[in-house]
Structure 1
Amino acid sequence: MGDLAVGARSGHEGPEERPERPEESVPPAAEDDVTAGGDNGGDSGGDGGRDERDGDGTAPQPKKPRSFWKELPLLIGIALVLALLIKTFLVQAFSIPSDSMQNTLQQGDRVLVDKLTPWFGSEPERGEVVVFHDPDKWLAGEPTPNPNAIQKGLSWIGLMPSAEEKDLIKRVIGVAGDTIECKGTGPLKVNGKALNESSYVYPGNTPCTVDDLGGQFKKKVPEGKIWVMGDHRQNSLDSRYHQQDKYKGFVPVDNVVGRAIVVAWPPTRWSTLPVPDTFDQDLSAAAPGALGLAGAVPLVLWRRRRLTVANARVSGPGTAG
């Protein structure tokens, strides 16, 4: 019995057989980390998922991205805003409703109009094809389109050609200060200089028309106005045939929406709309002051020469005597 008691006591008290306590195996640093996490209640945001654990001790699953269908309305909204800004300040599409600009433009063509440059003070120039608001009932009696609500909405934001039935498209022939003249069948003259319009006037048409409705004219373009004509001269009710309206056939520059720069649709008709070469010649109207100065210079030089000769004749004998 004594041996058993001693053996039992010595086995319990012997340091070599003492079991290690579990808490002593944890490094102090680790204990501090666990304690800090427990004290913060899982609210510390800088330790990743270590402090935010589910009840079973597992890390939470990452958040799932939004579905495409939930983001689609936001994407559509951004696209509509961008389209509206582009249509308002940069480029707008217009549909050609008639044959007045053949063959440059065909009925049904879609053109893109530059609306940016007018914002910087640029004004229409000779030879450009421009879109402008009806100055004074030029389209009276013409059939007007009747787009549905969807077409109106898409047109308003610029995703479809404009449904505005009060816009026209013509070529600028004269700007402020120019004198435009048509006699007989042509040629059309700007400030006395003939235009070679064979590259854009409809084949078989004459540059000027012989009629009593406005085909024969001589007009000076006032400040802030332009004179426009269609390329299909015998099928265009342009400035020539509205000389009785309040603007006398001229179009206010403020009515100009912008310059048509490209035929965008249909693809088979894609092309740019440059200014024809005939407008590259010097068509500027000579100012009266410049003409007066040009005429005065030879007269002044002639008078000075006469005075010089006269003085030489007078001073010559005096010097000799």
Structure 2
Amino acid sequence: MAITYNNLYLDIRQQFLRAGLPDPTLESRELVCCASGKSREELSRDGRLYVPDTVEQQVRRLAQRHLDGEPVAYLIGEWEFYGLPLDISESVLIPRPDTEVLVDRALACIKTLDEPRVLDLCAGSGCIGLAIAKNAPGCHAVLGELDEGALRVCRQNIRRNDLTGRVVSLQLDAREKPPAHLGEFDCIVSNPPYIPDGDIAGLDVSVRDYEPHLALKGGADGLDFYRDITRLWSAALRVGGRLLFEVGIGQADEVLRIMRSVGFGDLEITPDLNGIPRVVEGVLHKEL
């Protein structure tokens, strides 16, 4: 039986509501848009038109995969972060709203600088560094990432957001010393892997079975990357420059102590929109 775009969207939304999914309105709309090749505006405009059978079947297949746990961002191959459209693949974590506070803090730190240099370490999709560069017109950013698949996504997103002239991606290992040719940065931001290895098995299926474990596993206590980045990558930060981390629940105080122990001062903890301590930052007060 023929169905309109609007009724198909409402049907899928109702399925997601019954399943208790966190954002049924957004997710159902994105799946219908993806399968039909329509923008959000076109979907709204064409809501009373009938859906071709092949499109309806594709929407329902995508919806079932999502109900089985596969994230919408991987199903449609893109997601939005800080107002930027981003290509997404299973080589990178899906950008989350909690991370936007890290961008907010970094922009506040560099707003008085004419041409700040920013390094986004463990860049994944490049979402953090790209959002900073897009909103700080004089900024030049490096997206540092180890994984080849993630680097491909970074390059795609640099082009997609017209930032080729000010943003580059480089293969960098956050747990090794920075190469000397990188020079010094005014600001280093990082959302590193921070899930304790033993907690991976208990994660939600949408994370555990689909998101890359390389970007999740942070060692026995989840703090390995914070220790290594703070100790090694301070060499790539100018004295007076700022290091900013996203942290997991319950990690902020320990990350603050790690940073203090190697010469960072003016330390701050900033909560996310849910009031959870999410960003730890500090100023490098001495050369290490």
Q: What's the TM-score bracket when you normalise by the shorter of the two chains?
A: under 0.3
More helix by share: 2
**TM-score normalised to the size of structure 2?**
0.26
**TM-score normalised to the size of structure 1?**
0.24
- The structure that has the greater radius of gyration is 1
Q: Which has the higher contact order (CA 8 A, sep 6+)?
A: 1
